[in-house]
Amino acid sequence: MTDGIDTPDRRGRTGLDHYGRDLTRNPRVRIHDVEVLSCDWYVLRKTTFDYRHADGHWSREQRENYDRGDGATILLYDAEQRTVLLTRQFRLPAYVNEHPDGFLIETAAGLLDGDAPEEAIRREAAEETGHVVGTPEHVFDVYMSPGSVTERVHFFAAPYGPGTAAGLGGGIAAEGEDIDTLELPFTEALAMIRDGRIADAKTIMLLQWAALDGPFRAREQGVS
């Protein structure tokens, strides 16, 4: 009897070794075995598969893959004031990998927890920043670390302002969250990417999208 497989793990899950076994979309890939290495909070699997290379030969491969579900993130912006509203929180994995204090500046974000991406991001934005936004603009969906992490993050943007302020934000204390909000001029946020004070991938992607294609893009110069 193994927790997470035939008996519930601490989060009540079973059958965690089934995920990915039935994949047949790609004729160059035959899944052979799925082993659960860890299922304490999220799930770490080792998947064994046969892979047909470009020259036609098959080889047996193994890849560990970390499954924490999918997530969503949102850039809150005020196009008139030319500001963005970001969050700041302690991120242990960054702290153990050379970040000076582990406090990362990020766009509001969270895991879907079974909800549709748009619903999840409106919930997370409210929990983390206190702003209840309208229908967010969908930007793109991205695999953030495809060599090792299954997660796909859904990216959004929405205006914020006095009209969307509905609470204090700060995250869910009972889940150990302690989140500050940070309102910054957009140009300052871009400068913070250059000097490393903003070092979170989703945040950099959304700020650069805002400059290139989003609310802070330069006016068309009439040059194609």
Contact residues for Mg ion (CB under 5 A)? 109-110
Residue 3 interface partner, choices ligand GDD, Mg ion, none, CB cut-off 5-8 Å depending on type: none
In the complex, least distance from residue 89 CB atom to Mg ion, rounded to whole angstroms: 7
3-state secondary structure of 91: coil
In the complex, least distance from residue 199 CB atom to Mg ion, rounded to whole angstroms: 16
Which segment (17-25, 47-55, 161-169, 170-178) binds ligand GDD by CB under 6 A? Answer: 170-178
Within 8 A by CB and 6+ apart from 141, the residues are 117, 152, 153, 154, 155
**In this structure, what DSSP letter does residue 3 have?**
B
E strand spans, the chain: 29-38, 43-52, 58-67, 71-78, 83-90, 103-106, 108-111, 137-143, 152-159, 180-185
Residue 9 interface partner, choices ligand GDD, Mg ion, none, CB cut-off 5-8 Å depending on type: none
Q: Output the DSSP codes for 102-145.
A: -EEEE-EEEE-TTS-HHHHHHHHHHHHHSB--SSPEEEEEEESS
Q: Which of residues 194-223 bind ligand GDD (CB under 6 A)?
A: 202
The residue sitting closest to ligand GDD, measured at its beta carbon, is 71
> For residues 177 and 50, what is the distance between their CA atoms, to the nearest angstrom?
42
Residue 122 interface partner, choices Mg ion, ligand GDD, none, CB cut-off 5-8 Å depending on type: none
Among 80, 175, 195, 220, binds ligand GDD (CB under 6 A): 175
Is residue 73 involved in binding ligand GDD (CB under 6 A)? yes
In the complex, least distance from residue 176 CB atom to ligand GDD, rounded to whole angstroms: 5
The residue sitting closest to Mg ion, measured at its beta carbon, is 110
Is residue 9 involved in binding ligand GDD (CB under 6 A)? no
Comparing C-alpha atoms, which of 73, 65, 38 is closest to residue 49? 65
Which segment (9-17, 175-183, 186-194, 207-215) binds ligand GDD by CB under 6 A? Answer: 175-183
